[in-house]
Amino acid sequence: MNEIITWMQEHTTALFDGPAEVVVDREEITVIGTLPPEDSDHTTAERITAYRERTRAERIAVAREAEELFRRKVSWGVTSGEDRAMFTHLAVPVMTRLRQSERRVLDTLVAGGVARSRADALAWCVRLVGEHESDWIGRLREALQSVEEARATGPTAG
């Protein structure tokens, strides 16, 4: 993963004000860069739209090369001050097996109008856990990164 992050940051330096934030999972590489501050009468939304159009060809070229190298889709976004806008991102289906008690939770959320479907209800639950357990999830991700680094520097089977 560090190889992907480093590669993406190196290949996107000309696109952003500073190094991009790069988030990687099994299916997607998300690149979020910061727009440079600008003294103008344009709104943040106008600046983001102009940036998106102005850099489209460059971003597509970087994405094509990265997708070929790393076999993952590339998604793009920017931050400007406190605002964050995603241009593209994946919604990847996942399969799970749930027992009746777990399915009933999802069905209650659907019946209560919280979600349109079981899939939406499950996504809502995952978002809720992510929001309320963000510190714990962050510590877990850091621990997993240490495991990944140890594996990368350890002996190889062969």
- Classify 118 in phi/psi space as left (phi over 0), alpha (psi -120 to 50) or beta: alpha
Q: Considering only CA atoms, which of 45, 77, 83, 34 is closest in space to residue 59?
A: 77
Which of 2-11, 121-130, 148-157 shows the lowest mean pLDDT across its residues?
A: 148-157
Name the pLDDT band for 94 (thresholds 50, 70, 90): confident
Q: Let me know if 5 is exposed, middle or buried by CB neighbors in 10 A (0-12, 13-18, 19+).
A: middle
Name the pLDDT band for 101 (thresholds 50, 70, 90): very high
* pLDDT tens digits along 55-93: 999 999 999 999 999 999 999 999 988 889 999 888 888
pTM (2 d.p.):
0.73
Report pLDDT for 39: 67
Domain 2-86 class? alpha beta
Name the pLDDT band for 118 (thresholds 50, 70, 90): very high
Residue keyed to tokens 């600008």 = 38
For residue 158, is pLDDT > 70?
A: no
Report pLDDT for 85: 94
Q: What average pLDDT does the structure give for the chain?
A: 91
Q: Where are the domains of the chain?
A: 2-86, 100-153
